[in-house]
Structures are given as C-alpha cells and as structure tokens.
C-alpha cells in the first residue's frame, strides 16, 4: 500500500478526520447523508472600526458571500487593543445600521407647527438650510456687546457635532461655525 506525500499531509495535518474514519472503521454513509441535509452558507470576516463614538472599538463584520455581501453578524474584535472583543449596547447592535428597514435614506423635513415629516430632495434641503442659517445669523448677529466691545458673534445658532465625525471633519465644522460667529459649538460626546 502506497501513500504519497500529499495523502500523508492530508492525514497528518488538520484533516486528521480521514485517519479517524478509517482507524475507527466507521461507516461514512450516515455522516455523508447528514452532511447532505445541511444548508451551508459561506461568509467572510472583515475587521472594521465602530462608527458611533470616539472610542474606536474594533469589530469583526461577517458578510455573506451570497446575497450581495450582506452583513450577517457583527461582533467585537477580541484582538483589538481598544475593546478586546467587548462592545457597548449600541455597538453590539451595529449590524442594524446596515440591515434596517426603518433606516432613513433621504433627508426628512418637518415644517414649523406641524407634526408630520416629509421626504425632501438633498438640493432642497441643503439650499433651505443655507438660506435659514443666513437669515438667522443676520438677524441675531451682534457686532458689539453691551460694553461696546467688538464680538462679531451670533447667539441665535448652536452647533452640536456628532461622535461619528473624525478629527478633520470636526476641524472643518468648527472653522465654518466660528467664521459664522457661533459661540455655542458643542460635541455630542460631551453631552
């Protein structure tokens, strides 16, 4: 009986199953028929960083190889130095960010004195925001304060940053807000 190197590697390596099957004199039929009844799904794992807050926890995303790479599971990355596998409740529900029928995918507008939201276009939303910021800023702009000191500020608008913003985005936002004269510049993580 001959055994070539490849066969030997097969039986001495991770796939020692062949040796066990033969060694124990097993009937492969029940094992094979059980295997045939199983519905198998393939996936791959990709490491990423949770998008929610500045802690930057590492996550492992499992995406199915069928179904347009849909996320099937997200868990904490045990090898990531920041969180060592742990996730907060929000991070643990991260897959709902992608797989969520209720996810809002277009800008929504609620007009003053109504309780109804309606879908609007990005063009309309951005132009309206710009117009109203300008209007509000012009109306509330203070060149000097009560003591006659030059302040060039507006107390009529406040900015709340998101924890999902990165360092560079935060810099751009605060630069814009300061150029408009805002003094109420806050960040979600401090609230």
Partner 1 sequence: MDADYLQHIDRLIQQRPVAGTALEPYRELARLMIQSEPETMDIPEDEHLEIRRKEGFPLFSREGLPLDLGAASVLLNQFFKYLSKADREDRTGLLEALKQSEKNSKWTDRLFAAILKQDEKALATMASQVGLDPRVLLFLGKTALKPSLESLRRLMEESIDQKNWDHGYCPLCGSQPDMACFTKTGKRQLHCEFCGEEWIFARIGCPFCNNDSQESLGYFEAEVEEGLRVYFCRSCQRYLKTIDRRVFEKVASLELESLATLHLDVIANEKGFT
Per-residue x/- mask for partner 1, residues 43 to 72, rule CB under 8 A?
Answer: xxxxx------------x-x--x-------
Nearest to 155 by CA among 185, 175, 126, 188: 185
Which of 42, 143 has the CB closer to partner 1? 42
Is 89 one of the binding residues for partner 1 (CB under 8 A)? no
Contact 150, 143 (CB under 8 A): yes
User: Residue 13 in contact with residue 20, Cβ under 8 Å?
Assistant: no
4's enclosing H/E stretch is none
The nearest distance, CB 93 to partner 1, in angstroms, is 17
Q: Which of 49, 70, 75, 161 binds partner 1 (CB under 8 A)?
A: 75
The residues in 14-43 that bind partner 1, with binding defined as CB under 8 A, are: 14-28, 30-32, 34-35, 38-43
When the beta carbons of 8 and 117 are compared against partner 1, the nearer one is: 8
Which has the closest alpha carbon to 11: 26, 1, 23?
Answer: 23
The rounded distance, in Å, linking the Cα atoms of 166 and 51 is 10
- Rounded to whole angstroms, the Cα distance separating 127 from 115 reads 22
> Rule CB under 8 A: which residues touch partner 1?
1-3, 5, 8-28, 30-32, 34-35, 38-47, 60, 62, 65, 75-79, 84-86
């Amino acid at each position: 009986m001959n055994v070539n190197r490849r066969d030997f590697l097969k039986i001495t390596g991770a796939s020692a199953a062949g040796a066990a099957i033969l060694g124990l004199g097993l009937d492969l039929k029940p094992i094979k028929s059980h295997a045939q009844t199983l519905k198998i799904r393939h996936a791959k794992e990709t490491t990423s960083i949770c998008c929610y807050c500045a802690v930057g926890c590492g996550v492992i995303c499992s995406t199915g190889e069928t179904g347009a790479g849909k996320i099937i599971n997200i868990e904490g990355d045990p090898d990531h130095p920041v969180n060592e596998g742990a996730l907060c409740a929000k991070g643990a529900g991260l897959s709902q960010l992608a797989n969520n029928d209720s996810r809002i995918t277009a800008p929504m507008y609620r007009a003053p004195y109504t309780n109804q939201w309606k879908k609007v276009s990005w063009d309309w939303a951005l132009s309206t925001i710009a117009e109203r910021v300008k209007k509000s800023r012009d109306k509330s702009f203070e060149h000097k304060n009560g003591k006659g000191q030059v302040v060039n500020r507006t107390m009529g608008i406040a900015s709340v940053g998101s924890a999902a913003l990165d360092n560079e985005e935060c810099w751009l936002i605060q630069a814009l807000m300061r150029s408009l004269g805002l003094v109420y510049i806050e960040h979600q993580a401090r609230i």
